[in-house]
Amino acid sequence: MIYKYSMVVMLLLFSCNTSKEVKQNTNSEIKADYLKKVVNYLASDELKGRDTGSEGIKKAADFIIEEFKAIGVSPYFDGLGVNSYLNPFEVKNKNGNTLNGYNVVGYLEGTDKTLKNEFIILGAHYDHIGEIAAVNGDVIANGANDNAVGSSAVLAMAKYFAETKSNKRSILFVLFSAEEKGLLGSKHLSAQLKNKNLNLYAMINFEMIGVPMKNRSYKAYISGYELSNMADHINSVTKVETIGLLPKAKAFNLFKRSDNYPFYEDFKVPAQTISTFDFENYDYYHHVDDEPELMDYNFMASLLNELKPAIVHFSNTPTKELKMYE
């Protein structure tokens, strides 16, 4: 989120099992080039807008799985062979036909023998709306800002944590499908994890972070700002106003309109979405011109590198600092 950041950030983290001081080196930067690579593929014409159930979104899922494998993030679910990263569910289309939807779920076990039983979810939806009415002959809604950029953020965070092993709590890296059809993928996975009695600490969702806001004191906003202490704790770690309150986010009830919400409903823990789309800085929501070349990859990298120490902090604290307000 900021355009100048230290090359080396050292955090002192404490284990709940020992008083020994643990030094974490967090100098593995998230690179703009990596984010651009991911967005360029997911929002390419080849994938034809990544509509749930389409050939394009199957290719997107395959790409994400190959990234997880290359990064060194394990599949969370067993029993699906080489596709065990996939969390399948069914979707009815407008004609009443059944489509197959797939969340893609990567898993990085925590390094602490006790805290690894608690989970953080970093998520984003990777589906979009497919082909729509033509504008100047173009019918593909590429969905770069909505939400290939969020997907790139999750993969970049997965890459970072896999490289640094800086998480005492376990982390699920989740790319959701069928968000555009009513949060169906996140509803499915949340219910499934609830049935497994997953010990969920917090869920952080990334949505439309490809373009910076203008004339605001903060870098990004968080949905449900007033419902938990997440924003305050992020800012206390970053030591700048990384997260702010966007009045329109509350007015349009964005807290309930992205993939964070099913996890709040099922687990009643801090589950919120980070975004920079403020209804004024981008004209191509659900439009064929939502293209990769319009994204600001240097901004995205700076945003994620600024958020990174906060997520490291959340994954290592001896107690659960993040809480919903009464």
Q: Give per-residue pLDDT as tens, 156-205.
A: 999 999 999 999 999 999 999 999 999 999 999 999 999 999 999 999 99
- Helix segments in the chain, DSSP class H: 32-42, 55-71, 149-164, 184-195, 230-238, 247-251, 261-267, 297-314
Q: What is the mean pLDDT of residues 305-314?
A: 98
Residue 297 maps to which CATH number? 3.40.630.10
What pLDDT is recorded for position 214? 95
Predicted TM-score (pTM) of the model is: 0.91
Residue 274, H or E segment: strand 271-275
Tally of domains in the chain = 1
Residue 295 lies in a domain: yes
Residue 32 lies in a domain: yes
In angstroms, rounded to a whole number, what is the distance separating the alpha carbons of residues 7 and 114?
Answer: 31
Q: What's at 141, amino acid-wise?
A: A
What pLDDT is recorded for position 80? 52
The boundaries of the domain holding residue 241 are 10-314
Residue 322 lies in a domain: no
Residue 240 lies in a domain: yes
What pLDDT is recorded for position 28? 86
Residue 36 lies in a domain: yes
Residue 120 · residue 112 · CB < 8 Å:
no
Residue 48 lies in a domain: yes
Residue 324 lies in a domain: no
**Residue pLDDT, tens place only, 73-99:** 999 987 555 558 999 999 988 888 899
Residue 325 lies in a domain: no
Let me know the angle formed at the C-alpha of 5 by 2 and 10, rounded to the nearest 5 degrees. 130
